[in-house]
């Protein structure tokens, strides 16, 4: 007998969803989609069937989808109409699990309270991740919900990779490097033996490049270092976040009279590619622009990503391959080419035709292997939900 597993990935302006039918441990996707444009004049619900055939495209009333909770209600009605009943369980992507949650967990009121206490560590993501959990818990407390954490995959990084050079008391209080995008990296690690078996057991840098961006060192499929740290601000430049930043900049802004809320807004909403270009946070817009600042932003992005690949290779004692994933990593061939050109000294060279076709293997003959592997965080969440259901049955 099959069970339906619903996966929700809720953000500030969109909610992604996938519904899987599980039988005998195998997952078959019934449909997927997203509610986008929450809080804008043109919100929509888009859905695709099992074979990615268009299933629905609904223009939502902007007056009724001004915030996430309203979007959740609209999505819930749509899903109920297409399911014909309740799922066996709901899985949620949650960005920050802190020091305590190092694996997926079934959520009750006590767990939810602990996760809400982590909101200051991921203010751009955590409130939106938790909103549908809170809503379902209030309406259907008997329905199993499982939180799956972006930090969990990195929880067993070596101590040196987890540390900041700060007083021990702060480290003991949880001020440490957590790493993020773990569900994506975990999915890629699971795909490597099938897609790229020659590097699956070796030293691989995975670059998760999207609106949020990071890179991870996978040694035999396990995370041993990541560019992100205590929060999702660190490491690579992102759409609106700066990435690597001298902590003295924050002190300077505070000394100049900026409030914590103002500084947070600058760092989470006004920096990154948007701040550098003054045009857009979207790589597609920057690639289409002829403005010098657009070129500067892309060059900076490639420069810092190439630096990160080299640093992560150092953490592993060498490099056997590179994988690009996520929205920019999977689709922006010019950006991949810019990054690879800066890594030529490491033995990377792309085949232009393969790169333009988006892989899976995009490296030239004689090059260190370079792949494009689409990520699927929602499928990873579904697998974790099944594991939790089995262990708590």
Per-residue pLDDT of the chain (393 residues; tens, 9 = 90+): 678 999 999 876 788 899 999 888 889 999 999 888 887 888 889 999 988 899 999 888 888 777 777 788 888 888 888 887 789 999 999 999 998 999 999 999 999 999 999 998 888 889 989 999 998 999 899 999 999 999 999 999 999 999 999 999 999 999 999 999 999 999 999 999 999 999 999 999 999 999 999 999 999 999 999 999 999 999 999 999 999 999 999 999 999 999 999 999 999 999 999 999 999 999 999 999 999 999 999 999 999 999 999 999 999 999 999 999 999 999 999 999 999 999 999 999 999 999 999 999 999 999 999 999 999 999 999 999 999 998 876
Residues of the chain with CATH 3.30.420.40: 3-155, 197-377
User: Which position among 150, 282, 285, 320 bears the catalytic label?
Assistant: 150
Q: Return the pLDDT at 1.
A: 65
- Specify the length of the chain in residues: 393
Q: Return the pLDDT at 181.
A: 95
For residues 357 and 355, what is the distance between their CA atoms, to the nearest angstrom?
5
Q: Using DSSP, state whether 230 is helix, strand or coil.
A: coil
Integer Rg of the chain from CA: 21
DSSP 71-110: HHHHHHHHHHHHHSS--SEEEEEES--TTT--S-EE--HH
Structure tokens, 358: 């988006």
Question: In this structure, which long-range contacts are made by residues 293-301, counting pairs with CB atoms below 8 Å and at least 24 apart in sequence?
Answer: 297/237, 297/273, 298/273, 298/334, 298/335, 298/338, 299/338, 300/237, 300/276, 301/213, 301/236, 301/237, 301/273, 301/335
CATH number of the structural domain 3-155: 3.30.420.40
CATH number of the structural domain 197-377: 3.30.420.40
Residue 150 falls in the annotated catalytic set: yes
Q: Return the pLDDT at 38.
A: 81
Q: Using DSSP, state whether 138 is helix, strand or coil.
A: helix
Q: Please, which residues have CB within 8 angstroms of residue 393's CB and are 6 or more apart in sequence?
A: none
List b or e across 282-297, with b for residues whose CB sees 16 or more CB atoms inside 10 angstroms.
Answer: bbeebeebeeeebeeb
Q: Please, which residues have CB within 8 angstroms of residue 47's CB and are 6 or more apart in sequence?
A: 31, 32, 33, 54, 55, 56, 57, 78, 82
């Amino acid at each position: 007998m099959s069970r339906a597993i619903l996966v929700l990935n809720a953000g500030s302006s969109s909610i992604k969803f996938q519904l899987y039918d599980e039988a005998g441990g195998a997952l078959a996707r019934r449909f997927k989609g997203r509610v986008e444009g929450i809080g804008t004049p043109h919100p929509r619900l888009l859905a695709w069937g099992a074979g990615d055939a268009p299933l629905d495209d609904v223009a939502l009333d902007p007056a009724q989808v001004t915030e996430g909770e309203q979007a959740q209600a609209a999505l819930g009605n749509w899903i109920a109409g297409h399911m014909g009943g309740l799922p066996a369980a709901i899985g949620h992507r949650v960005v920050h699990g802190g020091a305590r949650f190092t694996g997926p967990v079934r959520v009750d009121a006590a767990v939810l309270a602990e996760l809400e206490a982590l909101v200051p560590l991921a203010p751009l993501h955590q409130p939106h991740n938790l909103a549908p959990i809170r809503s379902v818990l209030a309406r259907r407390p008997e329905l199993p919900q499982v939180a799956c954490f972006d930090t969990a995959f990195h929880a067993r990084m070596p101590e040196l990779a987890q540390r900041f050079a700060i007083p021990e008391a702060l480290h003991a209080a949880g001020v440490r490097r957590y790493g993020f995008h773990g569900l994506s990296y975990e999915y890629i690690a699971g795909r490597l033996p099938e897609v790229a078996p020659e590097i699956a057991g070796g030293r691989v840098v995975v670059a998760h490049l999207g609106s949020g961006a990071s890179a991870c060192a996978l040694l035999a499929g396990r995370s041993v270092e990541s560019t992100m740290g205590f929060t999702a601000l660190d490491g690579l430049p992102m759409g609106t976040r700066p990435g690597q930043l001298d902590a003295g900049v924050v002190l300077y802004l505070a000394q100049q009279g900026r409030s914590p809320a103002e500084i947070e807004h600058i760092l989470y909403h006004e920096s990154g590619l948007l701040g550098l270009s003054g045009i857009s946070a979207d790589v597609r817009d920057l690639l289409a622009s002829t403005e010098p600042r657009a070129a500067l932003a892309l060059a900076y992005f490639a420069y810092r990503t190439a630096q990160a690949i080299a640093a992560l290779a150092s953490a592993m004692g060498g490099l056997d391959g590179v994988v690009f994933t996520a929205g920019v990593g999977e689709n922006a061939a010019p950006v991949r080419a810019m990054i690879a050109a800066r890594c030529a000294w490491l033995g990377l060279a792309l085949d232009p035709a393969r790169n333009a076709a988006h892989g899976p293997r995009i490296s030239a003959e004689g090059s260190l292997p370079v792949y494009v592997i689409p990520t699927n965080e929602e499928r990873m969440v579904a697998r974790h939900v099944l594991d939790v259901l089995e262990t708590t049955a």
